Structure 1
Amino acid sequence: MQRRTFIAGLGAVSALPLTSRHAAAQEWPDRNITMVVPFPPGGQADLAARPIGLALSKLVGKPVVVDNRSGAGGSVGNAAVARAAPDGYLLLMTLSSLAVLPEADRLYERPAAYEVDQLAPIARVLADPTVLAVPANAPWKSVADLVADAKARPGVIPFGSSGPYGTLHIAMEMFAAAARIKMLHVPYRGAGPAITDLLSGQIQALASAPGTLKQHVDAGKLRILANWGNARVPAFPEVPTFIELGFKDVEFYIWAGLFAPRGLPADVTTKLRNAMRDAMRDPDVIRTFESAGSPAAYQDTDEFSKFVAADSARLVAITKKIGKV
């Protein structure tokens, strides 16, 4: 398991007032908070966690430790938080694959590592349509070029993912099924290592969030062929959507959101919810996301809970349709 830890600085901002010192829940937080990212550094969840961790540290007055616990496409980190004590000291910044991974376990008749209802949504942070990237020196200038080559060489062109049935894998399988092509799946522990190998030419295609790719596109190292959204991405306005290109059912979004173990005390939930609201207004957080090409897409707890339920149902249906791969 790859694991990396980062401690967010406190800065000089005073802590939120604590209303009582009588109950343990009311004293939250009285020690460091760990925010688990279930992927290696360099991906969308990591992009979301680090500026949020810094902002939360200033707001609640205790360090927020960003802990990369990668493995099994995100299942290892997701499960660790799902099984944790609901005390507000172990949180999860995860992606839309949250609902897909237990369904994938069921497809292969394995016990699910966790269930979505073991986790309580706190706030959505980012929500981007996935984009399709290839090396700048690749021969394909369009999706049509890639499809024609893949049909001529079925199962040969390697594409990366964040792990089997992770967000990046599901997006590519949707496209491949719609285009009636077969490519070679090369799974990684997360988007960060996959991007490294895309840049070196070890793989030839990758679906990922705009914010993880923009710097490499700007540097002339990668080319974006299409996006999985229902509108063009502001960071890449010249890039068409798959829907524009005639793939009407190829639509996928990679969102990042904060969760806690189900059963978090109400007063801790309120403090965390309020702190997240303020963190998402922090100019440094906004600037970091915008400069990466992934504008903030905040949803508070109630709205995010409804969003997760609807998106999970849609992704589970897609996973069942794709089946074993």
Structure 2
Amino acid sequence: MRDRKAGSAPPEPAVPVRRRAALIAAGGALAGASARAQAAWRPARPVTIVVPFGAGSGTDAISRILAQQLEPEWGQSVVVENRAGANGALAAAQVARAAPDGLTLMMTTNTPHAANPALMKRLDYDPVADFTPIARAGNYTFWLVVGERSPVRSLRDLLELARARPGHVTYASGNSTGIVAGATIAQMAGVEMTHVPYRSTPPAMTDVIAGRVACMVVDVSASLGHVQAGRLRALGVTSRERSALVPEVPTLHEAGLPGFDVVAWAGLVGPARLPPEVVASVNAVFRRVWERPETVRRLAGIGFEARTSTPEEFGAFIRDEIAHWGRMVRAAGIEPE
């Protein structure tokens, strides 16, 4: 037998021909089964995407973009149903009770699926047990804004006003990100501000623009048009790093709250016990339309950073985020209601 040449790789262990053929066949069968699962299910009737906030909110905007993309893929109508109220809990409870047939989905966010367990004493749903994760959709960019007639020009101005008049400076919220971020600003700065909650973002913005409320933390997706038109003034984004979507706006971390970092997200879920073939099919078509360059650009234009995942990755992400938002709520000193 000839010696192996120096430096050459050792020979691979021999695999019997029959066993090798069986392995190849098994691998092909698994790949074929996966492909068939993704291709097999299509909705036989119109699909509803439940949105936990009102029309005009950022979640409403991205859900309508998704619905437009899914309709030609499925050959069915895709209806966006706004179910605002109770910090997104009403929508979540509705979807949790829906039939697991793929015809009712939810564009959830960190509000009903991460923050609510810490913000609310009683929930009519379990954010893990009552849902089937399908895919992560991406991250929102949030910023702190004031109305155009406000004398406040910077975070420093706002905090000086709050120190001079404890409890008189108000902040609105239309979701958990606004609640937690507003309370965290007050806690980190050592000032007293009064929270004014709303059922959804649009009416909260209306009152900030009118000067009835001093400020709010709001998603760029819902408020960019108002900022561009001069009706709102952005003081800083809530993420630790500047957003590539609005790079000219400083972070609150830079502006005077070192370490401030609040990031919000969205993703697609269905009721618990969705059949695997439905989950695989919806995930596949969602990723296909969401990753299109034109869709990514369209979402970026309204302040949303698109990203996708497998169902398993999104499920693990939700569990981690429940713990993360619980820590932020406790650190901000927010008592559950």
Alignment TM-score, normalising by the size of structure 2: 0.82
**Contact 2:245–2:300 (CA under 8 A) maintained in structure 1:** no
* 1-structure distance, mates of 2:259, 2:126: 27
Q: For 1:195-274, list aligned pairs within 5 A.
A: 195-274=205-284
What is the RMSD computed on CA atoms of the aligned residues? 2.1
Aligned position for 2:28: none
Q: For 1:298-313, list aligned pairs within 5 A.
A: 298-313=308-323
Aligned position for 2:131: 119
* 1-structure distance, mates of 2:79, 2:144: 32
Report the 3-state secondary structure (helix = DSSP H, G, I; strand = E; otherwise coil) of the residue aligned with 2:101: coil
Residue identity matched to 1:316: G
Q: For 1:103-118, list aligned pairs within 5 A.
A: 103-106=118-121, 111-117=122-128, 118=130
Residue identity matched to 2:95: V
* 2-structure distance, mates of 1:27, 1:213: 37
Structure 1 residues 155, 53: CA separation in 2 closer, same or farther (over 3 Å shift)? same
Residue identity matched to 2:144: L
Bigger mean CA deviation after superposition, 238-247 or 150-159: 238-247
Residue identity matched to 1:95: T
Aligned position for 1:79: 93
Does residue 61 (structure 1) correspond to residue 75 (structure 2)? The answer is yes
Residue identity matched to 1:59: E
Bigger mean CA deviation after superposition, 176-185 or 268-277: 176-185
Q: CA deviation at 1:81?
A: 0.8
Q: 1:50 is matched with which residue: 60, 64, 77?
A: 64
Q: How many residues align?
A: 298
Residue identity matched to 2:305: P
Aligned position for 2:187: 177
Q: What do residues 87-127 of structure 1 show as CA deviations (whole Å, max 9, x unaligned)?
A: 11111112111222132223xxxx32211111222122230
* 1-structure distance, mates of 2:328, 2:36: 46
Residue identity matched to 1:257: G
Q: CA deviation at 1:223?
A: 1.0
Aligned position for 1:290: 300
Q: Which has the higher helix share?
A: 2
Bigger mean CA deviation after superposition, 114-123 or 296-305: 296-305
Aligned position for 1:188: 198
Bigger mean CA deviation after superposition, 124-133 or 278-287: 278-287
4+ runs of 1 displaced by more than 6 Å? none
**Contact 1:214–1:235 (CA under 8 A) maintained in structure 2:** no
Q: CA deviation at 1:30?
A: 0.5
Q: 1:153 is matched with which residue: 160, 165, 168?
A: 165
Aligned position for 2:25: none
Residue identity matched to 1:157: V
Residue identity matched to 1:86: P
Q: What do residues 257-278 of structure 1 show as CA deviations (whole Å, max 9, x unaligned)?
A: 1111121100001110011011
Residue identity matched to 1:105: M
Q: CA deviation at 1:283?
A: 4.9
Report the 3-state secondary structure (helix = DSSP H, G, I; strand = E; otherwise coil) of the residue aligned with 1:115: coil
Aligned position for 1:142: 154
Report the 3-state secondary structure (helix = DSSP H, G, I; strand = E; otherwise coil) of the residue aligned with 1:244: helix
Structure 1 residues 311, 178: CA separation in 2 closer, same or farther (over 3 Å shift)? same
Report the 3-state secondary structure (helix = DSSP H, G, I; strand = E; otherwise coil) of the residue aligned with 1:93: strand
**Contact 2:141–2:304 (CA under 8 A) maintained in structure 1:** no
Alignment TM-score, normalising by the size of structure 1: 0.85
* 2-structure distance, mates of 1:121, 1:180: 38
* 2-structure distance, mates of 1:172, 1:83: 32
Report the 3-state secondary structure (helix = DSSP H, G, I; strand = E; otherwise coil) of the residue aligned with 2:106: strand
Give the percent of matched residue pairs that are identical in Structure 1 and Structure 2: 33
Aligned position for 2:9: none
Aligned position for 2:84: 70
Report the 3-state secondary structure (helix = DSSP H, G, I; strand = E; otherwise coil) of the residue aligned with 1:193: helix
Bigger mean CA deviation after superposition, 176-185 or 300-309: 300-309
* 1-structure distance, mates of 2:54, 2:269: 18
Q: What do residues 100-158 of structure 1 show as CA deviations (whole Å, max 9, x unaligned)?
A: 2132223xxxx322111112221222303421011122111111110010111111122
